[in-house]
Amino acid sequence: MAELPSINASPLIYLSRAGLLDLLQVIAPEIVVPQTVAAEILRRGVADVTVLAIRQNDWLKITPTPPVPPEITAWSLGAGESAVLSWASANKNTEAIVDDLAARRCAAALQIPVRGTLGIVLTAKQRGEISAARPLLEKLRKNGMYLSDKVLNHALLLVGE
């Protein structure tokens, strides 16, 4: 289990829209939301489901992050992705939860453990926290998460579905 993983906006948005935010606690009992990511989400307005989620769940810890190191800045990522990777880089026994492909590539290059929204669902299935991944992944797709049929089917094969 990761120790205080940090999360970007898109996984929070997809999971909260689909009513699946609690799946994050399969990864860790607390999740760091860097201040930069929280500010991005809060701009969505007080009635937004993700805004409500970060305000109502004290296990989502809004936390200042260290300065972005040059090796992350060089990737020209968004502010949220950079903040998440900076947190994970500075806190070695953790991971970054991001969906953005460039951020995932940066994490791999810097040897930062990374997981996306899809990986959260697959982990929940592997750990027996959910009986089937397909309905949850379909729910995420209906709530705005892009996931091709090819990737979906390959992922489901990995967890025996």
Q: Say if 28 falls within a structural domain.
A: yes
Q: How far apart are CA 28 and CA 4, in angstroms?
A: 7
The verdict on residue 104 lying in a domain is: yes
Residues 52, 120, 105, CA angle at the centre, nearest 5°? 105
Within a domain: 157: no
- Listed residue (122, 104, 120) closest to 112, CA to CA: 104
Q: Domain count for the chain, please give it.
A: 1
Structural domain contains residue 25: yes
The pLDDT value given to residue 3? 72
Q: How far is CA 158 from the centre of its chain?
A: 20
**Which residues, including other chains, have CB under 8 Å from residue 67's CB and lie 6 or more apart?**
86
What pLDDT, on a 0 to 100 scale, did the predictor assign at position 1? 45
CATH number of the domain to which 28 belongs:
3.40.50.1010
Q: Which domain holds residue 44?
A: 6-118
Tell me which of 92 and 95 has the higher pLDDT.
95
pLDDT for 65 equals 85
In sequence order, the 6+-apart residues with CB closer than 8 A to the CB of 87 are: 6, 32, 34, 63, 65, 66, 94, 96
Flag whether the pTM goes above 0.75: yes
Quick check: is 71 in a domain? Answer: yes
pLDDT at 136 over 60: yes
Over 70: is that where the pLDDT of 121 sits?
yes
Q: What is the mean pLDDT of residues 80-102?
A: 95
Residue 10 lies in a domain: yes
Residues 40-61 have pLDDT tens digits of 999 999 999 999 999 999 999 9
